[in-house]
Structure 1
């Protein structure tokens, strides 16, 4: 190992090969602080050619590679196992914005760019990069693409895959595929780009990407509505889709307990209503005409929603600061639940039309087998993605409750499968859900995935133990 590490130092500089246990800690520990892997070293190349040089050395010495961006993932996808035999290949130094083409509505960025940095650079050129996540201040675009991240604007703009036109990739052989084309039409064979997006670094390492940009909206309107049930939320969603069309950007479902936890742990954020309701929805539209036009559209829809009692109450943000407060109610749910204690997370997707039935039947199953569990249900109902998190009963210690994690996961995921859904909507599979995947993917699907993995990474050095 000494020869391997020395040759890594020779390739990228001694200061960029970390082996001290103190230096490694932050890279080896997952975001929720619930698991720490062990790495042989953390290697921090500064260019695509240096990434290729390190991967070539890893192939030569049979050292596995765990690519890492901002390390904000939730499925143990960006940290190694406990063996200490892999390197963590951090891409944070690949953080240049290489080019922007305003006329083509594209931007070429390196994998280590922070998502918020990309958003701000696009904004400075009067363009919008619409991918938006709670972790956008720390997550990197390489990680977003590797996990095919979603976020709050998928309803209008799609997942990370839909927002990327081309990628640059270092393959498992240490070759560089220069696929940075800003083309919206390129029908020249297999779509290699889509193989690497969402592959969580198991097929190769994304080092740069060409991203889609959009004209900045002329106006944004944000509203918060109180509802009696998920069925009402579905009815409102259908109304909003028909009325707003492509202007509908965000449709977020929030359960009562979710809002209660935010109010408990973030009391400075004002609540929108004087009384509590069973469910809420955060709706946002983006309009290319004017503030007046957007406001009129929003008011018409809310009037229609309140008239047949689809919604019980509604508020429209009167300023940017009010819109920010409404968004904080949504974005602080995960932090509030973490402050409340440990919980069991589920990132699921099902057809939007089945969400009310899923919430009902999954809740009944939890009441039957895990009575008293608190379901913190919220998420992107507009695209069928729910974060269905389970906190323990108030009188049960966290660690005792976490012993039931496997049983609760199976219960929830079986219900998801019943409604023809997915056990991972936007977080990926990583190591956390790898064994669960076998229960819900068909043998044909799994064999096809294994065949692709074997063809592109025959030595199994690219993020081993993740997905498959």
Structure 2
């Protein structure tokens, strides 16, 4: 008997595949990493996931879990050794329960995020996690990386949107922690330990998520600024003016808007010309009438315009116009891809240090790599910037990316020096794994290693991800 044969007996031949049958699953979204596996399996439920884990444990075979394969750090890509089993959770896609009195929804890890949003809406509720990849990413992956997205400012990351979990442990046991409680002070918070662990501590198979009442109205605007400091000041101003109604504050630079106009000419631009240095897409939502919310929105923006704290404003006048503005924001990655590969970074700093970070990092990179192009955008409301650096005009992307490590060191060192993080919402995976020893203290890394060993003593859950190799410590 072999592991492959035993897996077929366990799940059925149709749900156990070879590497050749799942080639598209053996590389990451950007095709930076490629792997190989003993088998790829598609269990139907939590019991089958647990049985797979127990069987792999008997063979001492590592397990890599994959959802929608939309991650950016290679966390869901197996290594090239061909020793691991790829665990695909797409069959765990049931909505188990909706409780509108408790405002919760229990869903399986393979549920597509957009399907969860739509199901909540059909029940008259809002599940606010929103990402550009929501049509293909899964809840399990969202929780594994503690996904952020466009509404973190108001609702928080995936961790804040989750009340309970169901998890298969490294021993193949099942922790049934699908509590819908908002208050439960009985011991250690295992939920928060597993969320963001990228499949290295346990396999999330289901979650109980928070729901919210659907807003009665939304107002959206595109705002222009001559200086980044004006955008930061305007964020504080809108927080005071709109309070909890402020849902999103998405920043993008003038070069980002120009890139969109160049690479996606069919996309509707908010202004006739791109003449300002910075722009923001802001949105408020609430339970008052549409007329009252719109009146408040227009009053605040008009005052800001007349006081010259903003350079220009476009307020969406229809649902279609709102969708067009959001389409611009969500198309930035595609526009960059059409321009060519670039050095991407997902950093966070305190909002009060955003201006300093951008000005300092821009200057350092121009000194060391004259002519590089900066495409900076992100979630200003929570200090998360996607700070991307492209090759100078006339230089190929391939030649420029030979300097990727040096460019990233400038970006990450500056963020770290300003009290920031080298990963805000994309996780660590394998791409940033060895950077952990540079930016995390020895005490932090030791604690993480001890937790990993306690929960996965044989190191079979997603090896080679998140934590640096011990010899690097």
TM-score by length of 2: 0.98
* 2:444 counterpart residue number: 445
* 2:417 counterpart residue number: 418
Q: In 2, are the aligned partners of 1:24 and 1:41 still within 8 Å (CA)? A: no
- Root-mean-square deviation (CA, aligned residues, Å) is 0.8
* 2:63 counterpart residue number: 65
Q: 2:92 aligns with which of 84, 91, 94?
A: 94
Question: Quick check: 1:347 aligned with 2:346?
Answer: yes
* 2:201 counterpart residue number: 203
Mapped to 2, the partners of 1:431 and 1:180 lie a distance apart of 30
Mapped to 2, the partners of 1:291 and 1:459 lie a distance apart of 57
* 1:278 counterpart residue number: 277
Q: In 1, are the aligned partners of 2:128 and 2:151 still within 8 Å (CA)? A: yes
Q: In 2, are the aligned partners of 1:65 and 1:89 still within 8 Å (CA)? A: yes
* 1:466 counterpart residue number: 465
**1:352-401 per-position Cα deviation (integer Å, ceiling 9, x unaligned):** 11111111000000100011111110000000000001111121111111
* 1:289 counterpart residue number: 288
Mapped to 2, the partners of 1:281 and 1:359 lie a distance apart of 16
* Partner-residue secondary structure (3-state), 1:386: strand
Q: In 1, are the aligned partners of 2:33 and 2:77 still within 8 Å (CA)? A: no
> Shift of the alpha carbon at 1:294?
1.1
Mapped to 2, the partners of 1:271 and 1:14 lie a distance apart of 51
* Partner-residue secondary structure (3-state), 2:301: helix
Mapped to 1, the partners of 2:111 and 2:407 lie a distance apart of 37
Show the 5 A alignment for 1:157-306: 157-276=155-274, 277-306=276-305
* 2:470 counterpart residue number: none
* 1:312 counterpart residue number: 311
Q: In 1, are the aligned partners of 2:90 and 2:111 still within 8 Å (CA)? A: yes
* Partner-residue secondary structure (3-state), 2:131: coil
**1:280-331 per-position Cα deviation (integer Å, ceiling 9, x unaligned):** 0000001111101110111121022112211100011000000011111111
Q: In 1, are the aligned partners of 2:4 and 2:38 still within 8 Å (CA)? A: no
Q: In 2, are the aligned partners of 1:30 and 1:73 still within 8 Å (CA)? A: yes
Runs of 4+ residues over 4 Å off in structure 1: none
- Which stretch has the larger CA shift, 320-329 or 264-273? 264-273
Q: In 2, are the aligned partners of 1:37 and 1:80 still within 8 Å (CA)? A: yes
**1:76-96 per-position Cα deviation (integer Å, ceiling 9, x unaligned):** 000111111111100111000
Mapped to 2, the partners of 1:290 and 1:41 lie a distance apart of 55
> Shift of the alpha carbon at 1:41?
1.4
Show the 5 A alignment for 1:7-46: 7-21=6-20, 23-46=21-44
Q: In 2, are the aligned partners of 1:263 and 1:269 still within 8 Å (CA)? A: yes
**1:408-444 per-position Cα deviation (integer Å, ceiling 9, x unaligned):** 1111000000110000000000000001111100111
Gaps of 5+ in 2: 468-473
Gaps of 5+ in 1: none
Q: In 1, are the aligned partners of 2:19 and 2:38 still within 8 Å (CA)? A: no
> Shift of the alpha carbon at 1:20?
4.6
* Partner-residue secondary structure (3-state), 2:2: helix
Q: In 2, are the aligned partners of 1:201 and 1:462 still within 8 Å (CA)? A: yes
Question: Quick check: 1:82 aligned with 2:73?
Answer: no
